[in-house]
Chains A and B, each alone.
Chain A
């Protein structure tokens, strides 16, 4: 069966510090991978998606970036965090059935 992992589960970072969130998927190959953010009281905002290694599409301009160094690994990064980067970050994947998307447990990021 397929599983998706995200770490860390929670993170508190000062403004201006770097960020690296990791997502890995097990039990599937060639997944589409997604990063979402849910800010307090708001919906799910798609940040990045990837259809393959090294292929990243950005949905919203911001100070975040994403990379996909391996087939089942998706990394969300920032060089300098802003207060507005606080939120709940979710990784998701879809397989060959494009209409089924599964989410990881999420990372709660607080920028102080």
Chain B
């Protein structure tokens, strides 16, 4: 049973427009959510996170929104740039010494 789902395997966006990547989860015990960005043949790098007590966190061009009632979060990238082309993983964690749970990723392609 997948606890973290990224239902869109891929997304194409024009440069300068907004990219919206979505993530759904099923475990109500998750209290922290993270987004990672991964280029081919490299390890994922941390991008942005949000605590379950917040509904929005912003860092430059990146904003993560959390809707706890819908068990849904999204990552907004504005404006999108060609260098943003990568695979984006949503991850969630519950309190205690437990591993992160990752979604399967969404491949974002930003077209110039």
B93/A98 in contact, CB under 8 A: yes
Q: A7 contacts the other chain (Cβ, under 8 Å)?
A: no
**SS of B interface (majority):** loop
Q: Which of B45, B98, B104 contacts A43 (CB 8 A)?
A: B104
Which residues of B have CB within 8 Å of A108? 41
Q: Considering only CB atoms and an 8 Å cut-off, how many residues of chain B contact the other chain?
A: 24
Contact-residue size bin, chain A (C-beta under 8 Å from the other chain): 20 to 34
Contact of B41 among A99, A100, A106 (CB under 8 A): A106
Tell whether, in the assembled complex, residue B105 and residue A43 are in contact, meaning their CB atoms are under 8 Å apart.
yes
- Min CB distance, B59 to chain A, in Å? 15
Q: Is B93 within 8 A of A102, CB to CB? A: no
- Is there contact, CB below 8 Å, between A44 and B105? yes
Interface status of B83 (Cβ within 8 A of chain A): no
CB contact between A44 and one of B42, B89, B93 (< 8 Å): that residue: B89
* Tally of A-B Cβ pairs under 8 angstroms: 50
A105 contacts which chain B residues (CB < 8 A)? 42-43
Which residues 85-112 in B have Cβ within 8 Å of A in the complex?
Answer: 89, 91, 93, 95-100, 102-105
Q: List residues of chain B with CB within 8 A of the CB of A101.
A: 34, 46, 91, 100
Report the minimum CB–CB distance from B76 to chain A (whole Å): 21
Q: Are B97 and A32 in contact (CB under 8 A)?
A: yes
Find out whether the CB atom of B102 lies under 8 angstroms from the CB atom of A99.
no
The yes or no answer to B49 lying at the interface (CB within 8 A) is: yes
Would you mind naming 8 contact pairs between A and B with Cβ atoms under 8 Å apart? A43-B104, A46-B99, A98-B97, A100-B49, A101-B46, A103-B43, A106-B42, A106-B43
Q: Closest 4 interchain pairs by CB? A: A43-B104, A103-B43, A99-B32, A44-B102
A contact residues vs B (CB 8 Å cutoff): 32, 34, 42-44, 46, 49, 51, 59, 88, 90, 92, 98-106, 108
